[in-house]
Amino acid sequence: MQRVVEFQSYGEKIEALLLIPDGAVGPLPAVVMAGGWCYVKELIQPQYASYFVEAGFAVLIFDYRRMGASTGLPRQHINPYDQQEDYKAAVSYMESLDEVDSERIGIWGISYSGGHVLVVGATDTRVKCIVSNIPVVDGLFTMKVAHGALAFRELAAAIIEDRREQISSGRFGIIPMSSDPREGLSTWPFPEVEPVFNQLKLQSAPNHEHFNTVASVDLLLTYTVFPYLQRIVNTPTLMIVAEGDDITMWDKEIEAFNLISTTKKSLFVVGETSHMTLYSDMSRLEMAARAATEWFEKHLK
């Protein structure tokens, strides 16, 4: 069973999909999910969620404020700290449902939200299990490596110019989410990203918009999960990385994993794949989804 629901987060309406296993008798263990950079709730997450629902979990997939069907301005402005608060609001919403066992709520994230769930799990004791899928763990490091020295200089200059423009006009500049780097600046300068997202937009996620504010990138440069990792002391945590991932930097992800304090942690490496393969190759997606499902079953049932 699937229905569209709404809840509030700091005065904004958050729209979400609530999925309940057919014939299930609650209260059920639950998983809260949200996507990465410029995601909407219909983009690839339902494919992952289907495995959790089949295993007997209630699932909530939500649009962050300023994205998709949720409210908030400016549109396509990605503030990771607001998004983390939206996760916590989603947990509060799930706690309020008769179908959900409030003592068995886990969180799942992918790419940018793969980092968010580490922070949320470290700072919200209601979270009983974490799955971090191909996460962004250090924004400055990731952007410098992804762009290279010369293009990063251009990116940094564009951010400074955007700060000045906001003061003079109040307008937020925009930048493509991704593009071929030969075509100019984008947030994620990888030519394989845009075709996959465009295909997903056509197939299932018409609300996806493939751009973001320049200020979103400015905030990304302040983003790091590292101060929070030692605060995950008793929450079971699974990190899934793609071998050779040079978009969110798999070596940096493993460095972060090693600093998580809890002994109840596991690293799952999807071999012979890449960041975008976990969106476009259903066999690779299944590997990651089944690993996450087994982790939730182990620690929430």
Has residue 161 been placed in a domain?
no
Q: Which two tokens stand for residue 12?
A: 């904004």
Tokens of 151: 């293009």
Q: What is the mean pLDDT of residues 241-251?
A: 95
If one counts every other C-beta atom within 10 angstroms of the C-beta of residue 205, the result is 20
Residue % of the chain over a pLDDT of 70? 100
Residue 147 located in a structural domain? no
Q: What is the total count of domains within the chain?
A: 1
- Is the confidence at residue 79, as pLDDT, over 90? yes
The pLDDT value given to residue 24: 86
Q: Is residue 185 part of a domain?
A: no
Task: Please state, in angstroms and rounded to a whole number, the distance separating the CA atoms of residues 128 and 124.
Answer: 9
Mean pLDDT computed over 78-93: 98
Model pLDDT, residue 249 = 96
Query: Mean per-residue pLDDT for 183-208?
Result: 95
The structure's pTM equals 0.96
- Residue 123: beta bridge partners? none
Within-domain flag for 59: yes
Residue 238 lies in a domain: yes
Question: Is 100 within a domain?
Answer: yes
Looking at the predicted structure, is the pLDDT value of residue 201 above 90? yes
What is the structure's pLDDT at 42?
97
pLDDT score of 98 more than 90: yes
Q: What is the CATH number of the domain that holds 276?
A: 3.40.50.1820
Cβ burial of 183 (10 Å; 0-12, 13-18, 19+) is exposed
How would residue 278 be classed by pLDDT, with cut points 50, 70 and 90?
Answer: confident
Within a domain: residue 193? no
* Res 279: pLDDT: 87
pLDDT > 90? residue 41? yes
Structural domain of 114 = 2-137+225-300
- Whether the predicted pLDDT of 25 surpasses 90: no
Residue 54 domain flag: yes
Report the distance separating Cα 279 and Cα 264, nearest Å.
28
